Chain A
Amino acid sequence: MIQLLNWFRRRALERGLNRELQYHFDRRVADLTAAGIPEPEARRRVAAELRLPRVREEVRDVWLTRWFRDFLYDLRFSARSFLRSPGFTAATLLSLALGIGATTAIYSLVDQVILHALPVREPGRLVLVDWNGDDLITYATGSSNLMPYSICRDLQQQTRFLDGVLCRAEIQVNLTAGGDPRPVAAEIVSGSYFSVLGVGPTLGRVIEPEDDAAPGAGPVVVLSYDFWQAQLGGAADIVGRKVLIGNHPMTVVGVAAAGFRGVDVGAVPAFWMPTSMSADANLDEDDLLHSPVRWLQILARLRPDVTLAQAQTGLQPWFKAWLEESTRSPVFPRISADHRREYLATTLELASAPQGHSPLRRSLSQPLWLLFAATGVLLGLACLNVAGLFLARGSARGREIGTRLALGASRGRIGRQLLADSLLLAVAGGVLGAAVAPLAIRGLIAFLPHDLAANALRDTLSFRLLTFAFLASIAAGLLSGLAPAFHAGGDSLVNSLRERGGTGFGGVRLRKMIVTLQVAFSLILLVGAALFLRTLTGLLAKGPGFDTSSLLSFAIAPLQNGYSGADASRLIRRLDEQVRALPVARSSAAARIAFLNGWAWSNYVTIQTDRRIVSNRTVYFNAVSPGYFATLGVRLLAGRDFDRSDVRPVGEIGPRCAIVNEAFVKRYLAGRDPLGVLIARGGSSDVKPDSRIVGVVADISYRGVRDDSEQVFFPLFEHDDTGATFYIKVRGAPEQAIPSIRRLVREDDPRLPILWFRTLDDQVNRSLNTERMLAALSVSFGGLALLLSLVGLYGVMSFVVTRRTREIGIRLALGATGGSAIRLVLRDAVFMIAVGMAIALPCVAALGKLVQSQLFGVTATDPATIAAAALVLGAGALVAAFIPAWRASNVTPTDALRLE
């Protein structure tokens, strides 16, 4: 560090040293002349004694180690020569900044979503506990890694393997903390949560085991630091304040440590509350603490002396006993003996979870890795481009280098100079790239599918990110500098001096190899771009199965505001009728599950025809009010829609009915009349098929545009309803209907928040966010790659033409036509393009398997797509090569020969 400082004050240091040595010199001379030696003789003797040049050099070595000093001189020399050729510098800087900026931005998301360990104590010892249990019995709700509360409670006794067990569930509640109630995301957690994670409070205390000791024991919440800062202004007197969760009063007992955002990177909780208060969180069930419903995730901390495999094996005997015990529970369903055996054979599964648990990670990790790989290729391309430019510049500098070699510079020394060139450029490019990266990250986050993700992901540059950008720059510098450096080291001195000015041998073969590789890389990226573009256009063309224009949706969750199921049902029914009566509404309907949202209500279905069958995969359900299909414009293929008479008041028994979609009929009722067939939700043997199919509708999307699932619709208001999404076909612009709807809901219950207003166009767009991100980014990467390789090709071809000007001129003088000159040059280019493509195609085939799952309506090795990409690349490349070729054909023999 001091040494680096010395570099910047080397002038002052030199001055001081000179004065110091001069003083010594003069004193010594004075002493010698005083002793009677004549002055000239004294001066000569002192000079020999002191050997000043050597002393100076040795002192300079003390200031700054030799190689470091030389390297800094190299860098200074590089910087000066770059400033002298601004065009070259701008081109290389831009290539590198683009490559590094893009890679850094994508890496930021990879790091945040996939790699980043939770900011807790020893995250490496955290494991996710999962049960590969039987869906039929364990009431899996289609979401991930869910477990019943009782396993979490009992697992805490297994201290031989585990150093603590926590469970948590993500919940949506209405929070009133001064002002209007607002819907927020929160985590409901076991009392062990904070102590197992090792997270403390910023203020007050965190949730403790006592809060969770018995149902209703701890009416307390702990706020997240971010929520406290952003929504409550970081009020210092927050501890002890009362808030309402729904309409249950709770006390704020603390604020969690800053930087801790729960265990799910995609869902940032506003606060945490203990599981003992699950009844107050208004989840659908009354007694979640004792029921077998799987509703939370379990994370555990391994004991330091236990491995994952040991714990997994060691816990099985206990789990076996737990399974046996659970079958004796009064709520355990009656099942067949086979089924029971299957159930008892299920096991507990442990997986390392240093990053916590996150559905967002699962859905995004593949697209993100893909994009990361793409940016890696792009960065490689940028490096190749810079290497090509360096080679070109190196050939222009051939004489300079030759002269330096002739004067005695070692080849290593010259090579180091060239390496300094490229490192300086790469680091400068990296700084530029890091400067634009936050913008790029912000853009990327806007693409992401979840609203929550936008809150959870940061666009700031962390230390890790800067380290990454720095390492990427150094790697880029080394990569792009190595080829020219070796080249300079290997060229023959005599050759380079013999060359005439400006036309030195420029490593043409090396440059051609570089361009060939560039062609290969860009074809890979172009094929990717074409595939993702076709996927997006395919999905947009498919749509959700109906016309989304003029459709508006809004949602409410009355249970979160303390409504009972029956009251909620009545409210939804009331609102449904009132919305329908609004003048702006052409028609309207309500549904329990909002589609295209990733949510699902699913189970197996038992179908009773002449025999009883159970669906062989889960079927998606929805409950809808009459007029739902007409509002959306979904075609009714057979039978009828629900009507008023199908809608049963709460609790009333009577004939039930259902509507199924085309896919359901195709899969399970092919070749028979579906109308009148009895079905029921659930697949176990005690299920009674009691709902009569009264209609068949065309297929529409459920969770996302991609899926073509089997669906069954039931009438809304049949029993307790948790919430509803209303769909309104409006007259005019959908936005204009919003105020009147808002007024209507407020008149009914001023405390009930509307969760969202969304047009269906917007909803479809949102559900395609990941696809759009992949398409937009891969197209821009492909475009950049194309540009980079075309520039590279143009550069090398121009160079070849310049070098062969004389030869071409002579050929033309001897009677060759311009056309043959063009052919001569183009033959070279075509060869490079062809070899590049030949390298790329097997890579495309190999990479295809990785991207297949992200595609829709096109296979990864689709010949038409690949051909189109190759055509675009080939056409562009030929144009880039044709310009220099055309110039070659216009060479006049006299000019060419005058170059002599």
Chain B
Amino acid sequence: MPSPRFPIPQGTLDMLILQILSLEPAHGYGIAQRLEQISRSVVQVNQGSLYPALHRLQQRGWLRAEWKQSETGREAKFYSLTPAGRRQLAVEKDSWARLSGAVNLIFEEGSR
């Protein structure tokens, strides 16, 4: 039986993480849950692959992390956006918009 959800396209995970963190700081589990909610269960994200992405983004200086008390009272690692991360998000949003615009244009061309 084919899965009703398709796997997340290559390279968009980073952008989605940045987008989620631009709203408020969150820990890994929180980001995973929000991803599920925001994508309305359409996009399937492997929970594990979140962590390499988070560490990569942190190493690039787009995220910063600190240990804080979470809603359950336990210490959790909270990620938040750095100014560089915010700029990166803008860049990625922009290129995404242009890409999807271009793809749409091609589809409309073909359907005419």
A positions within 8 Å CB-CB of B: 2, 16-17, 19-21, 23-24, 26-28, 49-52, 54-55, 58-59, 61-63
Q: Is the CB of B29 within 8 A of A59?
A: no
Residue with the highest number of chain B CB atoms closer than 10 Å, among A2, A20, A49, A61: A20
Q: CB < 8 Å: which of A2, A23, A61 contacts B77?
A: A23
The contact sample of 26 A-B pairs, CB cut-off 8 A, is A17-B51, A19-B77, A20-B27, A20-B28, A20-B76, A23-B28, A23-B29, A23-B70, A23-B76, A23-B77, A24-B28, A24-B32, A27-B29, A27-B72, A50-B47, A50-B48, A51-B46, A51-B48, A54-B48, A55-B48, A55-B49, A58-B49, A58-B51, A59-B55, A61-B52, A62-B52
Which chain A residues lie closer than 8 Å to B87 at the CB level? none
Contacts known (A2-B59, A16-B77, A63-B59); A24 close to B29, Cβ less than 8 A:
yes
B56 at the A interface (CB under 8 A): yes
Chain A min CB distance to B5 (Å): 14
Chain B residues numbered 17-32 whose CB sits less than 8 Å from any CB in chain A: 27-29, 32
Chain A min CB distance to B8 (Å): 15
Q: Is the CB of A58 within 8 A of B28?
A: no
Q: Is the CB of A49 within 8 A of B74?
A: no
Q: How far is the CA of A667 from the CA of B87 in the complex (A)?
A: 90
Which chain B residues lie closer than 8 Å to A20 at the CB level? 27-28, 51, 76-77
Which chain A residues lie closer than 8 Å to B75 at the CB level? 19, 23
Q: Is the CB of A23 within 8 A of B27?
A: yes
Q: CB < 8 Å: which of B29, B52, B70 contacts A55?
A: B52
Which chain A residues lie closer than 8 Å to B70 at the CB level? 23
Known A20-B27, A23-B27, A23-B74; further 4 A-B contacts with Cβ < 8 A: A2-B59, A24-B47, A51-B46, A61-B52
Q: How far is the CA of A746 from the CA of B103 in the complex (A)?
A: 99
Q: Is the CB of B51 within 8 A of A49?
A: no
Interface band, chain B: 10 to 19
Residue with the highest number of chain A CB atoms closer than 10 Å, among B28, B29, B46, B75: B29
- Mark interface residues in B39-60 (1 if CB within 8 Å of A CB, else 0): 0000000111101100110010
Q: Is the CB of B49 within 8 A of A62?
A: no
Contacts known (A23-B74, A59-B55); A49 close to B29, Cβ less than 8 A:
no
Q: How far is the CA of A62 from the CA of B48 in the complex (A)?
A: 14
Which chain B residues lie closer than 8 Å to A16 at the CB level? 77
Which chain A residues lie closer than 8 Å to B74 at the CB level? 23, 26
For A57, the closest partner residue in chain B by CB is B52
Q: Is the CB of B77 within 8 A of A49?
A: no
Which chain B residues lie closer than 8 Å to A61 at the CB level? 52
Chain B min CB distance to A29 (Å): 11
Which chain A residues lie closer than 8 Å to B52 at the CB level? 55, 58-59, 61-62
Q: Is the CB of B56 within 8 A of A62?
A: yes
Q: How far is the CA of A19 from the CA of B65 in the complex (A)?
A: 13
Which chain B residues lie closer than 8 Å to A55 at the CB level? 48-49, 51-52
Which chain A residues lie closer than 8 Å to B48 at the CB level? 49-52, 54-55
Which chain A residues lie closer than 8 Å to B32 at the CB level? 24
Residue with the highest number of chain B CB atoms closer than 10 Å, among A2, A21, A24, A28: A24
Residue with the highest number of chain B CB atoms closer than 10 Å, among A27, A58, A59: A27
Which chain A residues lie closer than 8 Å to B47 at the CB level? 24, 28, 49-50
For B53, the closest partner residue in chain A by CB is A62
Chain B min CB distance to A582 (Å): 82
Which chain A residues lie closer than 8 Å to B59 at the CB level? 2, 62-63
For A20, the closest partner residue in chain B by CB is B77
Which chain B residues lie closer than 8 Å to A51 at the CB level? 46, 48
Q: How far is the CA of A61 from the CA of B55 in the complex (A)?
A: 10
Q: Which 3 A-B pairs have the closest CB atoms?
A: A58-B52, A55-B48, A62-B55
For A58, the closest partner residue in chain B by CB is B52
Chain A min CB distance to B82 (Å): 15
Q: How far is the CA of A26 from the CA of B48 in the complex (A)?
A: 14
Chain B min CB distance to A679 (Å): 87
Which chain B residues lie closer than 8 Å to A49 at the CB level? 46-48
For B72, the closest partner residue in chain A by CB is A27
Q: Is the CB of B28 within 8 A of A63?
A: no
Q: How far is the CA of A24 from the CA of B51 in the complex (A)?
A: 10
Which chain A residues lie closer than 8 Å to B55 at the CB level? 17, 59, 62-63
Which chain B residues lie closer than 8 Å to A21 at the CB level? 51
Q: How far is the CA of A52 from the CA of B47 in the complex (A)?
A: 10
Q: How far is the CA of A20 from the CA of B27 in the complex (A)?
A: 9
Chain A min CB distance to B59 (Å): 6
Which chain B residues lie closer than 8 Å to A26 at the CB level? 74
Q: How far is the CA of A26 from the CA of B73 in the complex (A)?
A: 13
Which chain A residues lie closer than 8 Å to B72 at the CB level? 27
For A27, the closest partner residue in chain B by CB is B29
Which chain B residues lie closer than 8 Å to A62 at the CB level? 52, 55-56, 59
For B52, the closest partner residue in chain A by CB is A58
Q: How far is the CA of A135 from the CA of B70 in the complex (A)?
A: 95
Which chain A residues lie closer than 8 Å to B29 at the CB level? 23-24, 27-28
Which chain B residues lie closer than 8 Å to A2 at the CB level? 59
Chain B min CB distance to A47 (Å): 10
Q: How far is the CA of A27 from the CA of B72 in the complex (A)?
A: 9
Which chain A residues lie closer than 8 Å to B46 at the CB level? 49, 51
Which chain A residues lie closer than 8 Å to B27 at the CB level? 20, 23
For B28, the closest partner residue in chain A by CB is A24
Which chain B residues lie closer than 8 Å to A52 at the CB level? 48
Q: How far is the CA of A24 from the CA of B29 in the complex (A)?
A: 5
For A26, the closest partner residue in chain B by CB is B74
For A53, the closest partner residue in chain B by CB is B48
- Mark interface residues in B69-112 (1 if CB within 8 Å of A CB, else 0): 01010111100000000000000000000000000000000000
Chain B min CB distance to A473 (Å): 31
For A55, the closest partner residue in chain B by CB is B48
Q: How far is the CA of A58 from the CA of B59 in the complex (A)?
A: 14
Which chain A residues lie closer than 8 Å to B49 at the CB level? 55, 58
Residue with the highest number of chain B CB atoms closer than 10 Å, among A17, A58, A61, A62: A62
Q: How far is the CA of A61 from the CA of B52 in the complex (A)?
A: 8
Q: How far is the CA of A857 from the CA of B51 in the complex (A)?
A: 78
Q: How far is the CA of A26 from the CA of B27 in the complex (A)?
A: 13
Q: How far is the CA of A50 from the CA of B51 in the complex (A)?
A: 10
Q: How far is the CA of A17 from the CA of B50 in the complex (A)?
A: 12
Which chain B residues lie closer than 8 Å to A50 at the CB level? 47-48
Residue with the highest number of chain A CB atoms closer than 10 Å, among B28, B51, B56, B70: B51
For B56, the closest partner residue in chain A by CB is A62
Chain B min CB distance to A63 (Å): 7
Q: How far is the CA of A756 from the CA of B56 in the complex (A)?
A: 71
Which chain B residues lie closer than 8 Å to A58 at the CB level? 49, 51-52
Q: How far is the CA of A63 from the CA of B60 in the complex (A)?
A: 11
Which chain B residues lie closer than 8 Å to A54 at the CB level? 48
Q: How far is the CA of A113 from the CA of B56 in the complex (A)?
A: 50
Which chain B residues lie closer than 8 Å to A63 at the CB level? 55, 59
Which chain A residues lie closer than 8 Å to B51 at the CB level? 17, 20-21, 55, 58-59
Q: How far is the CA of A59 from the CA of B49 in the complex (A)?
A: 9
Chain A min CB distance to B24 (Å): 18
Chain A min CB distance to B47 (Å): 6
Chain A min CB distance to B105 (Å): 36
Residue with the highest number of chain B CB atoms closer than 10 Å, among A17, A50, A63: A50
Chain B min CB distance to A298 (Å): 57
Chain B min CB distance to A335 (Å): 81
Residue with the highest number of chain B CB atoms closer than 10 Å, among A2, A49, A52, A59: A59
Which chain B residues lie closer than 8 Å to A17 at the CB level? 51, 55
Chain B min CB distance to A68 (Å): 14
